[in-house]
Amino acid sequence: MDPDTVARLLHLNRRFYQTFGDEFSQTRQRLQPGVRRILEALDSQSRLLDLGCGNGQLAAHLVEKGFHGEYIGVDSSAALLNEARKNIPNSAKAALIQADLAAPDWDQALSGRQFDVVLAFAVLHHLPGESLRRRVLEKTRALLDRQGRFIHSQWQFLNSPRLRARLQPWQKAGIQEADVDPGDYLLDWRRGGHGLRYVHHFTGAELQALATATGFHILETFYSDGETGDLGLYQVWKAT
């Protein structure tokens, strides 16, 4: 994907979350079953980095369940981070950082830190182009302890007829279909106004190739979420 298209897709999503941050947060007031399954297996003393932490529901849930480790949440949306500050108890050992994963220096504030677990739920599918995804994953790998794990989920929206009906032609965003990659889609948003989001639909084979290319191997894969239990593809990776 050429740099101009990458920049336009990133701008599209930044504009979406700036415009609809509050409305989006209202639709994320409970954790998905797959996320809960992951959190239940975490050590309560873990050093945890949450990429795309959103409105802080994940951190609040951890504290409620007795988590006493270190939590750092990173998100690019000021509106969602404001919600996170309200949701995370003051007693928690937590810090929030505003940073854009698409920026080359997004990890600067974390320099020298090591984490037991890095989470990225519904995050990678908003990063356009394989080159950008690789860069983010390489930085993620460097932030992990030697025995650390990277745990992420990818939205499997094509499994839902209802969500398939929300797919929009690229022309609505002023982008030509020939300029995006296979698996790239444009979805509309209708809560509190009309918006557009860029989302990539990952396949299992694509994730395997990405893991191998960035120095990870896949420990576990499972599907969860939604009425049919397959709207989220979850994986646990470990550095090779």
Quickly tell me which residue has 């500050």 as its tokens.
85
Q: Give me the pLDDT at residue 37, please.
A: 95
| Contact (Cβ atoms closer than 8 angstroms) between residue 191 and residue 20 | yes
DSSP letter, residue 181: P
Query: Quick check: helix, strand or coil at residue 98?
Result: strand
In the predicted structure, residue 26 carries a pLDDT above the cut 60? no
**Cα distances (Å, whole numbers) of residue 129 to 9, 36, 100, 192:** 10, 29, 16, 29
Residue 111 confidence class, pLDDT cut points 50, 70, 90: confident
Count the residues in the chain. Answer: 240
Interval 69-86 mean pLDDT: 90
- The pLDDT of residue 28 is 56
| pLDDT the model gives residue 110 | 92
The Cα–Cα gap between 117 and 49 comes to 6
Asked if residue 48 lies in contact with residue 69, where contact means CB atoms within 8 angstroms, the answer is yes
Q: What is the pLDDT of residue 19?
A: 74
Question: What class, spelled out in words, does domain 3-155+203-239 have in CATH?
Answer: alpha beta
- The answer to whether the predicted template modeling score (pTM) of the entire model surpasses 0.95 is no
Across 141-165, average pLDDT: 94
Alpha-helix runs per DSSP H in the chain: 3-26, 33-40, 57-64, 78-87, 130-143, 161-164, 204-213
CA dist 92 and 220 (Å) reads 29
Q: Where are the chain's structural domains? A: 3-155+203-239
Phi-psi region of 66 (alpha: psi -120 to 50; beta: other; left: phi over 0): left
pLDDT confidence bin for 101, thresholds 50/70/90: very high
pLDDT band with cut points at 50, 70 and 90 for residue 119:
very high
Q: What is the pLDDT of residue 87?
A: 87
- Ramachandran region of residue 128, left (φ > 0), alpha (ψ -120 to 50) or beta? beta
The mean per-residue pLDDT over the stretch 206-220 comes to: 97
pLDDT for 188 beyond 70: yes
Whether residue 83 is predicted with pLDDT greater than 80 in this model: the reply is yes
| Tokens 């415009």 -> residue | 19
Average pLDDT over residues 153-179: 94
57 with 87: CB under 8 angstroms? Answer: yes
Quickly list DSSP for 42-68. S-TT-EEEEET-TTSHHHHHHHHTT--
